[in-house]
Structure 1
Amino acid sequence: MTNRRQFLTQIAALSTLSLSSCGWRLANVGSNYTKTSRQLDQLYIYTWTQYTDKQLLKTFTAQTGMKVLADVYDSNDVMLAKLQAGAGAIYSNIYPSDYMVQKMLDKKLLTPLEHERLIGLENLFPRFQNPSYDPFNRYSIPFNWGTTGLLYNSEKLKTPPDDWEYLWQNQKQLYKRMTLLNDVREVMGATLRMLGYSYNSQNELEIKQAYQKLKQLKPAIAAFDTDAWQNQIMAGDLLLAMCYSGDAVKISLENPKLKFVIPRSGSSLWTDTIVIPKNAPNLPGAYAWINLILQPEIAAQTSARLKIATPNSAGFEQLPKSIQDNTILFPPESVLEKCERLTPLGKFEELYDRYWTQLLT
């Protein structure tokens, strides 16, 4: 997601800043974490910056007596790199996106979920009870879902964007006043989709074509950025930003002239999940955390506070109608049919990464 999607933009830029006073810290557990600190009255989680929610921590502690300490990250790759460096022995819950669940499975980084210890799986919408990235939720439960699209200033852009090609067609007007996500799969995927290909193309010619198209656009792009664009578009410095739907909801509520569109040729459909890593130090706490998230009233409260789309059907029913009817959070099926989940690319990931490095440099 989480975002992918309460934002800590400033925190993301200050890697040494501690948020432990409110339970959230920026990836600073570090090497001084030892077996002696793996106590069952503490739960360490690793989640997206976008999902920081002080109230959720308080609720968990009130229900279980456990203290939650959370580190945050702003990309799946950062999370995976830390896990592969040994952090799997620190955290009991992690929030990977759907395709990353598959990658983590391939790398044997996850613990299978014991469904008899989970309460409320039946509350999930049917589409999330047997997802393609993790059949029958054997290793993950969904936390948030959404799409990727374009947030634009409707006062200054009289012709609204309706597809990805708008960026190329209006390159002069958008020069240095638009941003794309700092995410190779999202940016390359959107360009591939615009060209009529799959987000998950494994055709070398198609991937190269997408890179060449992006190379044409590169001089006009202000930045490849996942977080900092928000303050800039609110201040009027940007006209358009590629972003996740959850972020778009929060910002458009603050400034209604900023509107979100899912491109007509299609976009990505993503789910951020909760998993238990192998060697999780607090297994009872990990299941207690997941069971808290599965409670319908908690799902509804979290959705309303963080402006995220809950995959919990029973929780959805408890949301105010104004949130249920928000088509940024909950797009109609006709839009979702054109969207595509990211999937692992195997050996082609190296090709995507090579083109991405060339583009950024």
Structure 2
Amino acid sequence: MKKLAGLFAAGLATVALTACNEEKAEDKTAAEAKPQATNQTVHLYTWTEYVPEGLLDEFTKETGIKVEVSSLESNETMYAKLKLQGKDGGYDVIAPTNYFVSKMAREGMLAELDHAQLPVIKELNQDWLNKPYDQGNKYSLPQLLGAPGIAFSTADYKGDTFTSWGDLWKPEFANKIQLLDDAREVFNLALLKLGKSPNTTDPEEIKAAYEELLKLRPNILAFNSDNPANAFISGEVSVGQLWNGSVRIAKKENAPIDMVFPKEGPVLWVDTLAIPANAKNKENAHKLINYLLSAKVAEKLTLEIGYPTSNVEALKVLPKEITEDPSIYPTTEVLQKAQWQDDVGDAVELYEKYYQELKAVKN
């Protein structure tokens, strides 16, 4: 869920060092840090928020398989850790965001899924399947959908105030806007405003987007991807870029908040479930994926963290205040205009370079 600012700007070596330091901070040797595979234990590497207390108890009760969970803090760190493991393996199920699925699949880091072992597929939203990042869902299945939009305090603004991403550039929002602290998310605003692809690798287009963002800089109060809903809940911020799941969190706290998706559409991401190529327990990994995507578990997770689930059966039991809220569950019209965020290869370093320069500019 937390799409942290790209760490590739400093190169894979730096990310790998970060991964190693995390293990050292836990006073573990490399050997101790590596999960030890057993037939009755599955090692799940996923976002912390995606495993609320008690979520896995029934799986263990039903199957006798224990689940050891490692907290995933960024796609970049996950990628680096799997690279360090090499063929030795360690994790059985991972939760990469879609644009890392395509990258990892190209590099041979993901195992092909056996759809015969995943009957839950028939319960998944067909509109979420067979996307460009993983044609035929050969390597991954979607779990939760992220859709950033323009969030606003209903005490201060009306929804029709915001029809385009370009509205954020208006002088009336000077020093008022919170943006997500993520290079790609921020550049998406300018690229869409300019009519360019959010997945461009053209240096000139990326530079043009940076120059457009410099014009927006006086309006930016803060960059925040660490619980970005909190600033809306506290009233510190009244307008900004926000993920749909964060809107649900704020509404649960009775914050006066709503969100719209501009006419250019959102740039979607989806957190998936996949099996590393070096996983030692692929059979039980399939069982865990099947469980995590099931209607019962999907319902619990969406209730907890707000993001739309891929399981259509869960929609039948989820409260309408979630499923019929267009700020959380984008409408068909919005989804038709949306684009999917994808891997941009080495161009991510250029995005990150300009992003750090943007953040360094003082208002």
Q: What is the deviation of 1:300?
A: 2.6
Per-residue CA deviation, residues 109-162 of structure 1 (Å, 9 max, x unaligned), is 111111222222111122233222111111001101131112222213467433
Residue aligning to 2:101: 101
SS class of match (2:68): strand
Whether the aligned pair in 2 keeps the contact of 1:190 and 1:267 (CA below 8 Å) is no
SS class of match (1:229): coil
Residue aligning to 1:333: 332
State yes or no: 1:148 paired with 2:140: no
Whether the aligned pair in 2 keeps the contact of 1:150 and 1:260 (CA below 8 Å) is yes
Q: How does 1:250-261 map to 2 (within 5 A)?
A: 250-261=249-260
State yes or no: 1:310 paired with 2:306: no
Alpha-carbon distance in 1 for matches of 2:231, 2:57: 32
Alpha-carbon distance in 1 for matches of 2:141, 2:32: 27
Q: What is the deviation of 1:219?
A: 4.4
Cα separation, partners in 2 of 1:305 and 1:116, compared to 1, 3 Å: same
Whether the aligned pair in 2 keeps the contact of 1:44 and 1:92 (CA below 8 Å) is yes
Residue aligning to 1:214: 213
Q: Which amino acid aligns with 2:123?
A: N
TM-score (norm: length of structure 2) = 0.84
Q: What is the deviation of 1:251?
A: 1.1
Q: How does 1:319-358 map to 2 (within 5 A)?
A: 319-358=318-357
Q: How does 1:162-311 map to 2 (within 5 A)?
A: 162-170=163-171, 173-175=173-175, 177-311=176-310
Q: What is the deviation of 1:29?
A: 7.5
Q: Which amino acid aligns with 1:168?
A: W
Alpha-carbon distance in 2 for matches of 1:27, 1:334: 47
Residue aligning to 2:138: 138
Alpha-carbon distance in 2 for matches of 1:222, 1:282: 47
Q: What is the deviation of 1:3?
A: 4.4
Per-residue CA deviation, residues 158-202 of structure 1 (Å, 9 max, x unaligned), is 6743322222104x5441x43211222211122100112111123
Instruction: Give runs of ≥4 in structure 1 deviating > 6 Å.
Output: 26-30
Per-residue CA deviation, residues 15-43 of structure 1 (Å, 9 max, x unaligned), is 9xxxxxxxxxx999872436783223332
SS class of match (1:86): helix
For the aligned residue pairs, the C-alpha RMSD in angstroms reads 2.7
Whether the aligned pair in 2 keeps the contact of 1:38 and 1:282 (CA below 8 Å) is yes
Q: Which amino acid aligns with 2:193?
A: M
Alpha-carbon distance in 2 for matches of 1:27, 1:136: 39
State yes or no: 1:116 paired with 2:116: yes
Cα separation, partners in 2 of 1:154 and 1:29, compared to 1, 3 Å: farther
Whether the aligned pair in 2 keeps the contact of 1:27 and 1:73 (CA below 8 Å) is no
Q: Note the residue ranges of structure 2 that are not aligned, 5 or more in a row.
A: 5-17, 19-24
Alpha-carbon distance in 2 for matches of 1:341, 1:27: 36
Name the one with the larger helix percent. 2
Give identity over the alignment, percent: 31
Q: What is the deviation of 1:273?
A: 0.4
TM-score (norm: length of structure 1) = 0.84
Q: What is the deviation of 1:250?
A: 1.8
Residue aligning to 1:55: 54
Whether the aligned pair in 2 keeps the contact of 1:147 and 1:245 (CA below 8 Å) is yes
- Count of aligned pairs: 339
Q: Which amino acid aligns with 1:153?
A: S
SS class of match (1:135): helix
Q: What is the deviation of 1:266?
A: 1.6
